[in-house]
Amino acid sequence: PASKRRRAPPSSQRASARNFSASGEPASRSCVRHQTGATRGTDVTRFEIRPRALDLAALRRLEEPSVTLCLSADAREAIRRSHRVLSKAIADGRPIYGVTTGSGPLSDRIIAPRLQGEMQRRLVLSNAVGFGPPLSATVTRRIMILKLATFAAGASGVTEALADRLLALLNADCLPVIP
What is the structure's pLDDT at 49? Answer: 96
Catalytic residue among 24, 40, 94, 97: 97
**Best CA proximity match to 74, nearest among 161, 151, 158:** 151
Let me know: does 66 contact 137? Beta carbons within 8 Å.
no
**Catalytic residue status for 97:** yes
Q: What is the pLDDT of residue 63?
A: 83
pLDDT value for 44 = 54
pTM (predicted TM-score): 0.73
**pLDDT means per 10 residues in the chain (179 residues)?**
42 33 38 36 74 92 89 98 97 94 94 94 88 94 96 96 97 94
